[in-house]
Structure 1
Amino acid sequence: MSDTGHGHISSTRNPRIRHALRLRQSAYRRAHRQTLAEGYREIEAVLRNGVPIQTVFACEELLLTPEGTELAARLQSRTQTSGGRFHTVSRHVYGRLAMRASVGGLLVEIKPPVHSLRGLVPHPNERLVVLEDVDKPGNIGAVLRTMRAAGSSTLILATHGRGGTDLMNPNVIRASVGLCFDLRCVEAPVEEVVGWLNRQQCTVLAVSPEGRSLYRTGGLPGTVACVFGSEATGLSPIWRDVAHAVAAIPMTPGMDSLNLSVSVAVVLYELLRRGLSEPD
């Protein structure tokens, strides 16, 4: 595998490497609108969705499988046609770049798509998910996987400006196995999200322990926005004011919470059951 003239990097002081390392910082990612993806399935999702690849870092010593070699060749071809960069790197440099062990010797620097509420239109009768101030990337990634399984295609992160997890976080990409590129993901202030839901005439289902049992909640017509808070703080009061229904997931005595992705799964599949339809 040649390096297409872009050069081999053996020092962590190289400007390309220093830039990539700084992309682990949220403020730096946001300023440059770039992030990192590693892992074969995650990179396949990048390619599948046409996400612009700006730089590829490949460690030939770690490309030990036909799958890895073939993927590296496709990445090399993509950078040749798109004007991106392809660098081979030493094992030491790759060790500094990699965010987890055993990811196969490939890491890509990408410019992920940025969606906004302004251009977002719900699909007919969609069950979309709203997460308020969820700050754990692993939770967001797990929710995305749950949504994909249940046929939900839109995730909105509603924030109060406290610097929660951003959708470009490499750990969101990892935890979702790249599904963050397959689904429509938007981040916006809570007030804007509430206004958008109202304009789109969405039925708002707030999920909170203070509600009545999910299984006794009445009809939820049209497009339904299922709103969840963080495991630590739950939903803010604004959602009780705007919700058409507040539902609780019933639990046996002694239990007061579920993992966020489990809660999302319970609600989405209950709505599917009511519609007697299979996930798309």
Structure 2
Amino acid sequence: MAELVEVDDPADPRLGDYRDLRDVQLRKSFEAEHGLFLAEGEKVVRRAVEAGHSPRSFLMAPRWLDGLADVLARTDAPCFVLAESLAEQVTGFHVHRGALASLERRPLPSVPEVLAGARSVLVLEDLVDHTNVGAVFRSGAALGFDAVLLAPRCADPLYRRSIKVAMGAVFALPWTRLPDWSTALDEVSDAGFTTVALTLADDAVPIEQSVAGLDRVALVLGSEGHGLSPRWQAMADRHAIIPMREGIDSLNVAAASAVACYVTTRRTAT
């Protein structure tokens, strides 16, 4: 069972995993160096632990202890208990969900492992906003997709903001990074998927038409600013568009992913 450790000093060195959470660059380097990630909120903490990630420690306000009592009973990791005002001094923001956990990262699976048995996958190229990455994961998980592949420069799905927006979907949906951006879509096609790129290319057809009759589909989405790179557009098997009213040419990538996932999971395969 977790040891409950009451803390009254926000400078306590044992709280290092939780310090300065608003400093994105610092946190990215710190978490990579120490092989950890943070989960925020009772539901997300629970889902991370149930997905098999080993806790390093917990940080909670007293009123959240009962809600996670069963999780704390199954681990030897310490639980630092402190007032919410002190937690804010440690983290740099108001922890309104009351509970944080620091957990160990696991080695990423290979691309073939993630694709094994999958029929519908998302492939993300250079999405750099953690909120968008989390939202795409949440839509994919909710709408029946089986896996996510990320280009090397995509934002980290295990960054706190990504996990929070995804509501823990990053623990439910298998994912990994593509080792080589330049040949990534060829690797997905070789695995038996038809790659369907969401793009405003002149030859793009409505998404319903693009995915109709396909068995294994890989939806390909590009970055927030410029969309898909010319290379990935050229490598994709098909180009698709979400039809819109005149004068509006695109959706935010997170919104586009939700629409495309909804249509794709309802396709009729031949």
TM-score by length of 1: 0.83
Query: Aligned residue for 1:17?
Result: 15
Deviation at 1:196, TM superposition (A): 2.8
Deviation at 1:98, TM superposition (A): 4.7
Query: Aligned residue for 2:160?
Result: 170
2:28 aligned with 1:35, yes or no? no
Once residues 95 and 125 of structure 1 are traced to their aligned partners in structure 2, the CA distance between those partners, rounded to angstroms, is 42
Structure 1 stretch 50-59 or stretch 172-181: which is displaced more? 50-59
Once residues 128 and 257 of structure 2 are traced to their aligned partners in structure 1, the CA distance between those partners, rounded to angstroms, is 16
Correspondence for 1:186 among 176, 179, 188? 176
Query: Aligned residue for 1:156?
Result: 149
Once residues 37 and 30 of structure 1 are traced to their aligned partners in structure 2, the CA distance between those partners, rounded to angstroms, is 15
Query: Within 5 Å, which residues of 2 pair with 1:38-187?
Result: 38-60=40-62, 63=63, 68-80=64-76, 84-98=77-91, 101=94, 103-124=96-117, 126-159=119-152, 161=153, 164-187=154-177
Secondary structure of 1:171 counterpart = helix
Letter in 2 for 1:49: A
Q: Is there any run of 5+ residues in structure 1 with no aligned partner, and where?
A: none
Structure 1 stretch 110-119 or stretch 32-41: which is displaced more? 110-119
Query: Aligned residue for 2:262?
Result: 269
Structure 1 stretch 71-80 or stretch 172-181: which is displaced more? 71-80
Structure 1 stretch 164-173 or stretch 91-100: which is displaced more? 91-100
**When the two structures are aligned, how many residues end up with a matched partner?**
262
Deviation at 1:254, TM superposition (A): 1.0
Q: Deviations over 1:26-57 (max 9, x none)?
A: 12211211011111111121132122111011
Sort the Cα spacing of 1:237 and 1:3 in 2 relative to 1 into closer, same or farther, 3 A: closer
Q: Is there any run of 5+ residues in structure 2 with no aligned partner, and where?
A: none
Letter in 1 for 2:81: T
TM-score by length of 2: 0.86
Deviation at 1:69, TM superposition (A): 3.5
Query: Aligned residue for 2:192?
Result: 201
RMSD over aligned Cα atoms: 2.5
2:243 aligned with 1:232, yes or no? no
Secondary structure of 1:172 counterpart = helix
